[in-house]
Each structure stands twice: as structure tokens, then as C-alpha cells.
Structure 1
Amino acid sequence: MRAPVVLVTGAGGFTGRYLVPALRSKGYGVVGLGEGVSSADRDLACNLTDATAVRAAVQGARPTHVVHLAGLSFVASGDACAFYDVNLFGTLNLLEALAALPELPCKVLIASSANIYGTPGIEVIDESVCPAPVNHYACSKLAMEHMVRTWFDRLPIVMTRPFNYTGIGQDEKFLIPKIVSHFKRRAAKIELGNLDVSRDFSDVRDVAAAYMGLLEADVRSEVFNVCSGKAVALREVLDIMTRRTGHAMAVQVNPAFVRPNEIPVLRGSHHKLTEAIGFAPRHALEDTLAWMLQGDAATGAVA
């Protein structure tokens, strides 16, 4: 029996920088697939939209397990075609390459998004809620999910729908790192969008732990929410940061940052995930914010 090798697409991205070390600590060999460098044992440069290159890279890696993290994730991106090229067709290229291997992987974990739920108008969102996406990012992820389901009889696939999550190393174009950065440098003001939105924020370390659990669990042909189970308003995040730093910052609402079809509240249920792998979030948002305030973005360590 050959040693386990996990192929991680997007290994050099935000989630990958936490998942890859977790995998290596468990004794997995890790191969990163994408356009950047990572902490994997080796990296294979590859654009997921290039089917030929993806097939060659997958054949070279011969993975026993796969975690597909790569994708275009910034919701406000203006390039609609790129969402579908990367999130839908890039995933299709990967699945076709995996299916062509002489020995199929034991598990393929594919990250979708809770954005597919749109605005369902219910207090707690579980996996039974009918998706109703309201932007191209979410539409591309839902299209990907439908496509992936057609592969359930050919590959041992599990899909995740992570809600918002954050931590040290996330790009400052995302909301929480932007807020933390402004407080760290004690900026006089910050421009934000709708202050009344509430989101289910997880810690990236909890998300990585959930992915590890699903990768090793005896589950397939299923989809799981990954979330904290609590919705926190943006105003509350600002209040927490003000208390933590003792710094009061002027907040200006910039109409350009207010998205059309803004989802007012997103709160998930992780009951199904808990039943499957015993998942329980370990990090409350206030603890995550404190970690981000104290941490070193270059290393992910606490100063």
C-alpha cells in the first residue's frame, strides 16, 4: 500500500496555508497544484483552466486524496466570465483528470460556498435550504455543485459550503482583515459598505480542522455546511475592535461598497457536520480578532 499523498489545489492560498501544515503533521505527503508556491512537499505549477496541463499534473502527482480549494473567491470581482472559467470549468478539468488515473483517489473534497443560499429568509440555514444565488460568484459555485453531483457515481466526492471565515494571512480586500488592519495602524477613519449585515464568521483554523475530518471520514456523495452557527453584525465587529484596541475610528459608509442584492443575514447550521465528524468550532470570533490583532501576517504566528 503506497503512502498517502494529498493533492491540494490552491495550496498557497489563504486556506491552504493552514490545511497543508495540518495534513503534513498527520503524515500525509502533500502536493500543491496551482500558480503559487506553498508549504507543500512539492508544488506543481498549473492553471486549472488548461485541461491538458491539469491532466499532466494530476498524473504526475498520483494522489490518494484530493482537496480542491482553488477558485475565484472575491465576490466583488467584475470579471463574470472568470468565475465560471475557474470555478466551474476548472473543477471539471480536475475531475476528468482524476477519473483518468489508473488508481482513483480515496476521497475528493471540493470546496463550494454558502453564498449559494442567497437570501432564503430563514433564521438558520442548513443543507436542505434551496439555493438561490444572487451574484456571479455564487452562481458559478452552484453550477459547479450541479456538475460535481454528476460525478458522484465515479469518484468518492464530498463537498463543503463554508460560510465566511477569516484569520491571519487573509487578503485585506476582505472585510475582517481590512477592519483589523485599520485598527492596527490606528487609522482615523474607515470606509465600509452596509453596516447592518450579519455574517456567520468562522476561524480559518476551524475550517481546516473540518476539512481534515471530512477527508478522513467515511462519507461520500454528501454536502456539508462549515460554519460557526452564530451570526455577528458588522457593527458588533467594530465594537469588539474598539474595545480591544481602545481606538475609536470614524466609520463612513461608501455607497460604492454597498453591493446590489446584499444578503442581510447569513447564519449556518453545522449540525450535519457535527453528526458526521464530531465537529465543534473551537474559536469564537472575538478570539479570532484578538489573534489577528496580535499576529504576524508573514508567519501566521502570534507575536
Structure 2
Amino acid sequence: MASQGTGAKRALITGAGGFTGRYLARELRQHGWEVWGLGHTPAAAFPAAELHHYVQTELNDYAPLQAAVLQAAPQAVFHLAAIAFVGHGSPADFYRVNVGGSRNLLQALAGLPTAPQSVLLASSANVYGNAAEGQLAESTPLRPANDYAVSKAAMEMMASLWVDRLPLAVARPFNYTGLDQSTDFLIPKIVDHFRRKAPMIELGNLHVWRDFSDVRDVVRAYRLLAEKPVAGAVVNVGSQALHSLQDVLDLCARLTGHAMEVRVNPAFVRANEVKTLRADTSRLDALIGERSLVPLEQTLQWMLAP
């Protein structure tokens, strides 16, 4: 995929072939950006119209990463590339990619002849851990409770070494979902069972309440943050709307007309799980303005439709 030479502002997305990366690329293109991507997915996996330019490379392979960043010369960078599935088999990979790979990227960006105007790092609300409950602000102490969350907190700390050279901002998204998200994640797993009209599903605690967003709302927030002078900000991204897993099951049952047996598998029940986690998005709203968000029911309807 070659550059189209649009003259538009150029964005570079790492993890461009991932779930969030593809929606972000679409969001940016629709708002006039020239979109370049980096990722480990082969270029042949992309429809030609998805990106203006794409380089297949690894964050931990510094020389080709540096060359790709130099070629892109982006005005804005969205760093989405990460190992994000908490149950990933090799804990060391979280640190190798999420911390070491992120450091390589920041080093390459800091070496550009012209620094980007915006570098948005996608962290995670998982950094807050399971100790705090209720509505969580960015000032909530970090108590990461698994290797994925620790790697994201470590990435944030590592990035602080570059704040005098790069206009960094950190986004901490809460749970979000959408069409084509991996069934490794909870809502796509539930949706997949309803779409297949499976007779039964095994889940953990049904009576935990979480802040769920639509991926399209999340990537819109990312774009708006990149278009504002927000260097130095750490920002929660969420909906502030709470739903339990039982709510999700009830909505899917109503939308599909399918009744499914739900079994609570003790292996899926986390000890001392926090009952309620909700994003305080007042800082995000102050930076980008109030947003019109997609209700969870509409997100589920979209995911169930194909």
C-alpha cells in the first residue's frame, strides 16, 4: 500500500492490524487524516483502502522500526500495539512487547528530525487493579493485579523518561467492545454464543458491574485527544454507564429471542472481585467536550447482526 500523497496530516498507528487499530484507521480517514500503520500482521491481510501505507515490523526489532518511523514522519502517533489478552500464555511477553517495544518506539520517535505534534499511548484501566471500587479518577492509586496490568503501568512509568522530548499523553480505556473483537474477550464470547444459538455458556460472576464502551466511541476519543494540546495528560476513556454481565445476557436474549442456559463455572470466578468499576471521565470531557455515546444495547445489536 503506497502513500497517496494527500497532503493531509499524517497519523501513524502501531498495532494497526488489531481490533482497535482498524477502527481508529477508519475514524481518522473519515476526518481527513493520511493514515500509516505498523504491525506484525502481513500487509496482504488488509483491504487496499484501509491504510494509505503499511509496514510489517516488530516493535522489538529496532532497526526496521526506526526506518519505518523515519519514513512515516508522522504528525500524530497512536501507540496501540500490545499484548492485551490477560490470559496470554507467556507472562514475559507482556514486558517484552508492552514495555520494551514501547521504549523502542519512543526512542525512534525522539530521533526524528521533526518531532510529532502528538503521541497518544494506549494504557489500560487495568492499572487500577481490583482494590479500588466505584467511580475511578486518574488520581486513583495504581494497584495492578496481573502481568498485563503491571506491564501497562510500567509502560506509563517508562514513558515519563521521554516527556521532555515528546508530547506524550496516556489514555486509560475501560472495557470496550465491538464487531470483530476476539472471542477471548467476555462480551464477544457471549455474543458468539447467542449468534450460534448455543444451548449453554459457562461464565464467572454474573453480578459484577462494569463500564462498557463501544469501540467506535473509544477511537473517536483518541482522535479528539490527538487534535487537542493535551501533552502530559493522563485520561480515562469510558462511558460512565454501568452494566452487569447479567444485563448483557438479558439484552442479548431479548435481541435474539434465544434462551440459553448460563452456568457459573467456579474456575472463572475471581477471588475478591470488585463489584463495581466505573470510569470518572470528567477530565476527558473537559479536554474534548461532551460526547454522544452509543448505548450498550445498540453495540450488542450491531455485534449480533451479521
Which TM bucket (shorter chain)?
Answer: over 0.9
Cα distance between partner residues in 1 of 2:277 and 2:152: 17
Q: Quote how far apart the aligned CAs of 1:120 are.
A: 3.6
Q: Quote how far apart the aligned CAs of 1:260 are.
A: 5.3
- What do the CA deviations read for 1:67-117 (whole angstroms, capped 9, x no partner)? 001100001123110001111111000000000111111100110000000
- What do the CA deviations read for 1:256-297 (whole angstroms, capped 9, x no partner)? 333456443221111100000104242111111111111x4x
Q: Is the 8 A contact 1:149 1:221 kept in 2?
A: no
Alignment of 1:30 with 2:38, yes or no, is: no
Alignment of 1:199 with 2:210, yes or no, is: yes
Q: Which residue of 1 aligns with 2:288?
A: 277
Q: 2:95 aligns with which of 68, 84, 88?
A: 84
Q: Secondary structure at the match of 1:72?
A: coil
Cα distance between partner residues in 1 of 2:182 and 2:24: 17
Cα distance between partner residues in 2 of 1:282 and 1:3: 27
Q: What letter is aligned with 1:82? A: D
Q: Which residue of 2 aligns with 1:299?
A: none
Q: 1:225 aligns with which of 236, 255, 260?
A: 236
Q: Which residue of 2 aligns with 1:255?
A: 266
Identity of aligned residues (%): 51
With over 3 angstroms needed to count, the CA separation of the structure-2 counterparts of 1:138 and 1:263, relative to structure 1, is farther
Q: 1:5 aligns with which of 10, 15, 23?
A: 10
Alignment of 1:266 with 2:277, yes or no, is: yes
Q: Is the 8 A contact 1:167 1:288 kept in 2?
A: yes
Q: Which residue of 1 aligns with 2:179?
A: 168
Q: Which residue of 2 aligns with 1:105?
A: 116
Q: What letter is aligned with 2:248? A: V
Q: Secondary structure at the match of 1:150?
A: helix
Q: Is the 8 A contact 1:66 1:109 kept in 2?
A: yes
Q: What letter is aligned with 1:15? A: T
Once structures 1 and 2 are overlaid, which stretch shifts more, 148-157 or 254-263?
A: 254-263
Alignment of 1:241 with 2:246, yes or no, is: no
Q: Is the 8 A contact 1:192 1:253 kept in 2?
A: yes
Q: Is the 8 A contact 2:122 2:172 kept in 1?
A: yes
- What do the CA deviations read for 1:222-253 (whole angstroms, capped 9, x no partner)? 11000011221111111111122221101112
Q: What letter is aligned with 1:214? A: L
Once structures 1 and 2 are overlaid, which stretch shifts more, 252-261 or 17-26?
A: 252-261
Aligned length: 294
Q: Which residue of 1 aligns with 2:3?
A: none
Q: Which residue of 1 aligns with 2:155?
A: 144
Q: Is the 8 A contact 2:9 2:34 kept in 1?
A: yes
Q: 1:17 aligns with which of 18, 22, 27?
A: 22
Return 5+ residue gaps in structure 2 as ranges: 1-6
Cα distance between partner residues in 2 of 1:58 and 1:218: 22
Once structures 1 and 2 are overlaid, which stretch shifts more, 29-38 or 136-145?
A: 29-38
Q: Secondary structure at the match of 1:158?
A: strand
Q: Is the 8 A contact 2:62 2:104 kept in 1?
A: yes
With over 3 angstroms needed to count, the CA separation of the structure-2 counterparts of 1:91 and 1:168, relative to structure 1, is same
Q: Which residue of 2 aligns with 1:116?
A: 127
Q: Quote how far apart the aligned CAs of 1:65 are.
A: 1.1
Q: Is the 8 A contact 2:10 2:74 kept in 1?
A: yes
- What do the CA deviations read for 1:129-159 (whole angstroms, capped 9, x no partner)? 1111100000000000011122111101111
Q: Secondary structure at the match of 1:32?
A: strand
Cα distance between partner residues in 1 of 2:296 and 2:179: 13
Once structures 1 and 2 are overlaid, which stretch shifts more, 11-20 or 36-45?
A: 36-45
Q: Is the 8 A contact 2:239 2:293 kept in 1?
A: no
Cα distance between partner residues in 2 of 1:260 and 1:55: 43
Q: 1:208 aligns with which of 219, 231, 235?
A: 219
- TM-score, scaled relative to structure 2: 0.92
Q: Secondary structure at the match of 2:235?
A: strand
Return 5+ residue gaps in structure 1 as ranges: 297-303
Q: Quote how far apart the aligned CAs of 1:195 are.
A: 1.8
Cα distance between partner residues in 2 of 1:215 and 1:134: 29
With over 3 angstroms needed to count, the CA separation of the structure-2 counterparts of 1:263 and 1:87, relative to structure 1, is farther
Q: Which residue of 2 aligns with 1:293?
A: 304
